[in-house]
């Protein structure tokens, strides 16, 4: 068990709810993942053949903590307004804050993000800012009151995994008391396991499951991956070496060839 914004959770996998082939598959994937937290967006719509009311009813029936997000927002004021709507609708102060600054890479706008985060913290929100792995930006977000950060591993939906492990390791070392959740760029379970091995608290993903051939099976695979990664971190991973080192002690002469002392 671990705590996210003072709430006890049993899973270190957070899962998105967009882009699944059907509502039924999404529901089965969420359950197979064993996640305690799912994200939903107010600005994005489900495909037209799905009933909106049925979608929201299904979300509520999953018995997960809901993390509304401000996906699609391009400036601080729009993100703040969206967060206020989400708090009213879902009766939660949690918000995954997204303020996109570039349409090609979907990279967050650091200036608008920091502005929105500071204002939302003042308004009593528990802000989960989606950010890059830039140490200075992350420190500024912490300074304005964010207890949780969501740095990317790679651009949203790219599936490239950890593009800059050094930057992520630096964040973990420099911000030891901050809850760090890698969000975006994860493509396969081994990526998630590597992130947990670095000491990050959790991972959040969507496309890696929703865009797979068998989303339910993939969700289950990610569930196992985060457990393995966290267990490895807690067990203490051996240090890397630049030379070979045998794990079996060697002696010059096998014991059965040694001369008997008289």
CB 184 within 8 Å of CB 209 = no
Strand partners, 185: none
Residues at the binding site are 157, 184-185, 206-207
115 CB-near residues (< 8 Å, 6+ apart): 76
Strand partners, 100: 108
What pLDDT does residue 47 have? 44
Region of poorest pLDDT, from 98-102, 145-149, 188-192, 239-243? 239-243
CB 162 within 8 Å of CB 154 = yes
167, burial (CB in 10 Å: exposed 0-12, middle 13-18, buried 19+): middle
CB 133 within 8 Å of CB 151 = yes
Residues noted as catalytic: 96
Length in residues, the chain: 262
Kindly report, residue by residue over 205-259, the tens digit of the pLDDT: 999 999 999 999 999 999 999 999 999 999 998 888 888 877 776 666 565 555 5
DSSP 22-54: -HHHHHHHHHHHT-SEEEEESSS---TTS-HHH
In the numeric block, the tokens 């040694």 are attached to 258
CB 39 within 8 Å of CB 17 = yes
CATH for the stretch 11-235: 3.20.20.70
pTM above threshold 0.85: yes
What does the domain layout of the chain look like in residue ranges?
11-235
DSSP code for 130: E
In the numeric block, the tokens 């308004």 are attached to 123
Residues at the binding site for 1-deoxy-D-xylulose 5-phosphate are 157, 184-185, 206-207
CA 211 – CA 228 distance, rounded (Å) = 23
Q: Which runs of consecutive H residues, i.e. helices, occur in the chain? A: 23-33, 52-61, 76-90, 110-122, 135-143, 165-174, 189-197, 207-210, 215-235
CA 129 – CA 175 distance, rounded (Å) = 15
What pLDDT does residue 175 have? 97
CB 133 within 8 Å of CB 105 = no
Q: Is 56's pLDDT higher than 90?
A: no
Kindly report, residue by residue over 136-180, the tens digit of the pLDDT: 999 999 999 999 999 999 998 898 999 999 999 999 999 999 999
Q: Is 46's pLDDT higher than 60?
A: no
Mean pLDDT, rounded, for 101-114 = 92
CA 50 – CA 59 distance, rounded (Å) = 13
Region of poorest pLDDT, from 30-34, 41-45, 151-155, 245-249? 41-45
């Amino acid at each position: 068990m671990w705590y996210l914004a003072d709430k006890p959770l049993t899973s270190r996998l957070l899962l998105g709810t967009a882009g699944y082939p059907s509502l039924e598959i999404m529901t089965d994937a969420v359950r197979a993942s064993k996640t305690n937290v799912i994200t939903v967006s107010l600005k994005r719509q489900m495909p037209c053949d799905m009933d909106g009311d049925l979608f929201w009813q299904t979300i509520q029936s999953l018995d997960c903590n809901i993390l509304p997000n401000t996906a699609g927002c391009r400036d601080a004021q729009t993100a703040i307004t969206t967060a206020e709507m989400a708090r009213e609708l879902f009766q939660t102060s949690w918000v995954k804050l997204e303020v996109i600054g570039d349409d090609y890479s979907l990279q967050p706008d650091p200036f608008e993000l920091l502005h929105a985060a500071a204002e939302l913290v003042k308004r009593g929100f528990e802000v989960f800012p989606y950010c890059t792995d830039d140490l200075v930006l992350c420190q500024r977000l912490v300074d304005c009151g964010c207890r949780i950060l969501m740095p990317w591993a790679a651009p949203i939906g790219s599936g490239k995994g950890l593009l800059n492990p050094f930057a992520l390791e630096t964040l973990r070392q420099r911000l030891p008391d901050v809850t760090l959740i890698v969000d975006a760029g994860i493509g396969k379970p081994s990526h998630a396991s590597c992130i947990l091995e670095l000491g990050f608290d959790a991972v959040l993903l969507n496309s890696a499951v929703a865009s797979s051939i068998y989303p339910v099976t993939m969700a289950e695979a990610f569930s196992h991956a985060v457990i393995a990664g966290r267990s490895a971190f807690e067990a203490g991973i051996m240090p890397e070496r630049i030379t070979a080192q045998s794990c079996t002690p060697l002696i010059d002469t096998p014991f059965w060839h040694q001369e008997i002392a008289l």
